[in-house]
């Protein structure tokens, strides 16, 4: 797969009983989804890919887990090594700048794609994996805990508390403020406003996942506006993964085609510059020949 500083894309191919092969694309830190068809892969794989193949080839996927409400997914694999069952955890962090790392059963890091370091945690081999810590989890936060968050947060508005401290991002934070009829720039809420906002959070968590397409071309897990419409293919509703794939796969293909065309154009431009330079040099040499011929004839006629 394509693993560079600019592009971190890892393909994992699964064999699903009664279904066949399924290819999962991990595009870090943007997204992950199943591909409709397997794309071309580099002839010379990245060293980290070769390392993962040695450890995870023919492994069985035991579990997939999201860390609380964080953008971190853990794939737990089981493999048989020298008659012993070995467990590995492949951790994918979608928090920018993103990372992929393989840990053992005790969450000790065996090898990361990239070594990274922050003030409160370090990603490098032989270190215990520590995930980013948020005090409050959007999936389980209560009205009492939310009230405490409002008083302890250093953010200056309710919309930023929802977006950053609870990890919702701007779109869903603004949606909650609108649903609860609360001014998004406020921080101190009345008891009624706090209750309405808490109810809006509960309703947001209870939404059934039904992929919808927005006017701007985004895929959302449920309707936020009346203009959003359900994603369908030949009048049949799509799953969320199918909807993402139907939008992103063609876009990725167009992008790769554009990159190929760009590379081709650069090669053509390079050769055209060489041709132009040689043509210029040829004309200069012809002019020099003509001038030298005239000089020779003048010398001969006055010999």
Per-residue pLDDT of the chain (303 residues; tens, 9 = 90+): 556 556 788 999 999 988 899 999 999 998 888 887 777 777 788 899 999 999 999 999 999 999 989 999 999 999 987 788 999 999 999 998 999 999 999 999 999 999 999 988 999 999 999 998 888 999 999 999 999 999 999 999 999 999 999 999 899 999 999 999 999 999 899 999 999 999 999 999 998 888 888 888 788 888 888 888 887 766 666 788 888 877 776 655 555 555 566 767 778 888 888 888 899 999 989 889 989 988 888 888 888
Residue with tokens 């927005």: 214
Nearest-angstrom CA–CA distance, 143 and 194: 8
Nearest-angstrom CA–CA distance, 237 and 246: 12
List, in order, residues 6 or more apart from 100 with CB less than 8 Å away. Answer: 8, 10, 26, 28, 48, 90, 91, 92, 93, 112, 113
Phi, psi of 243 (to 5 degrees): -65, -45
Nearest-angstrom CA–CA distance, 104 and 121: 18
Query: Would you mind telling me the total number of residues written for the chain in this entry?
Result: 303
Nearest-angstrom CA–CA distance, 224 and 141: 22
């Amino acid at each position: 797969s394509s693993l560079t500083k600019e592009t971190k894309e890892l393909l994992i191919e699964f064999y699903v009983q009664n279904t066949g092969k399924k290819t999962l694309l991990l595009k870090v830190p943007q997204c992950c989804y199943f591909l409709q068809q397997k794309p071309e892969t580099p002839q010379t794989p990245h060293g980290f890919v070769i390392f993962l193949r040695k450890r995870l080839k023919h492994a069985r996927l035991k579990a997939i887990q999201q860390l609380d409400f964080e953008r971190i997914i853990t794939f737990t694999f089981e493999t048989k090594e020298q008659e012993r069952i070995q467990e590995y955890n492949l951790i994918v962090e979608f928090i920018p700048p993103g990372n992929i790392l393989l840990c053992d059963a005790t969450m000790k890091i065996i090898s990361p794609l990239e070594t990274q370091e922050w003030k409160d945690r370090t990603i490098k081999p032989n270190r215990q994996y520590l995930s980013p810590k948020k005090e409050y989890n959007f999936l389980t936060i209560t009205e009492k805990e939310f009230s405490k968050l409002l008083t302890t947060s250093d953010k200056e508005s309710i919309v930023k508390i929802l977006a950053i401290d609870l990890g919702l991002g701007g779109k869903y934070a603004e949606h909650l403020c609108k649903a609860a009829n609360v001014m998004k720039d406020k921080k101190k809420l009345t008891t009624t406003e706090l209750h309405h906002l808490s109810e809006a959070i509960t309703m947001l968590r209870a939404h059934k996942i039904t992929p919808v397409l927005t006017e701007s071309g985004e895929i959302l897990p449920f309707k936020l506006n009346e203009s959003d419409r359900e994603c369908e293919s030949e009048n049949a509703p799509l799953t969320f993964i199918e909807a993402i794939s139907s939008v992103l796969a063609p876009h990725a293909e167009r992008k790769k085609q554009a990159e190929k065309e760009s590379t081709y154009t650069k090669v053509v431009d390079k050769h055209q510059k060489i041709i132009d330079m040689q043509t210029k040099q040829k004309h200069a040499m012809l002019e020099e020949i003509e001038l030298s011929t005239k000089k020779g004839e003048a010398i001969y006629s006055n010999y």
